[in-house]
Structure 1
Amino acid sequence: MRILARTHQMPPRVAAAAIILHSGLSKAAADEQSAAGLHRMATGTYPFLSRVEPVAFAKLLSKGEIALGVALLTPFVPSLLVGAAVTGFAASLLGLYLKTPGMRREGSLRPSQEGVGVSKDVWLLGIGLGLVVEELRHR
């Protein structure tokens, strides 16, 4: 495994980190109502999360996003590892997009007005997969 990220990998890592860190930091002080909304949306797609209390869920999600954002910004965190983490995170977001009613136009993959924000997370999937594929190719 490479010790440092390749220089050309840092721009997509920084771009992804900026969005993920912002998201995590904004959830850090989530009130009960905000936490309940996040939890409701997540449990609709991922029912196993119903065992977690909404505020605890929001705090865990916040900490996970902050940790991922910091890992992306840290050049000595291997791109294969951080790319796999971003890919998993993006896949979970796209799962929300695909399975949450009202996110897509009827009978289409095209987003509804409510789904535009989540559908745009496909770029995170591209960054994660790009990092993973490049690192695997160099092995």
Structure 2
Amino acid sequence: MKVAHVPLRTAIGAFVLNSGLSKRNLEGEAAQGMHAMAVGAIPQLRQFPPDRFAKLLSYTELALGAALLTPFIPSTLVGLGLTAFGAGLVQLYLKTPGMREPGGVRPTQQGTGLAKDVWLVGAGLTLVLDDLTHRRLAR
């Protein structure tokens, strides 16, 4: 891992890890609400019961957060994971009714929390592109 990646990976890794920890024991109405919102954007998630979906999401966030914080895991790899995770959240934002102003991509007040997750995509792509271009220049 490049030293320049440490602040980005540490900040995002700690945030994602904490998010995963907070979802570990999510059950009942909270899990159902999260599941319903996710199914609205990605219908294939309907195959998972809400409690199981919440656990899988928690484990995914825990794994991604830990990978970001682990220095020997290549930035390209964690960048791809972060980009995919962020893209899922952006899809949730784009497909959930009431998150965007009519006829555009600007968030409503309710959508701001999800719209901000576009930074995860940007950070993930930055890690991937920086790592790949650095390797190419090093040859």
Shorter-chain TM-score range: over 0.9
Q: Distance in 2 between matches of 1:60 and 1:85?
A: 15
Post-superposition CA distance 1:46-81 (Å, at most 9, x none): 001101010000000000101100000000011000
**Structure 2 counterpart SS, 1:38:** helix
TM-score by length of 2: 0.94
Match in the other structure for 2:90: 94
Q: Equivalent residues in 2 for 1:2-41 (5 A)?
A: 5-41=1-37
Output the TM-score relative to the length of structure 1. 0.94
Pairs aligned (count): 135
Show the counterpart of 1:50. Answer: 46
CA distance in structure 1 between the partners assigned to 2:64 and 2:122 by the alignment: 16
For 1:66-77, list aligned pairs within 5 A.
66-77=62-73
Mind listing any 5+ residue stretches in structure 2 that lack a counterpart? none
Find runs of 4+ consecutive structure 1 residues off by over 6 angstroms. none
What letter corresponds to residue 33 of structure 1 in structure 2? E
User: Identity over aligned residues, as a percent?
Assistant: 53
The amino acid across from 1:55 in the alignment is: D
Look up the equivalent residue of 2:105 and give its one-letter code.
Answer: L
Once the 2 structures are TM-superposed, how far is the Cα of residue 23 of structure 1 from its aligned partner? 1.2
C-alpha contact (below 8 Å) 2:100/2:111 kept by paired residues? yes
- The correspondence of residues 54-65 of structure 1 with structure 2, limited to 5 A, is 54-65=50-61
Measured after TM superposition, the shift of residue 138 of structure 1 is 2.3
Paired position in structure 2 for 1:120: 116
Distance in 2, Cα, partners of 1:124 & 1:12: 10
- Give structure 1 stretches of 5+ with no counterpart: none
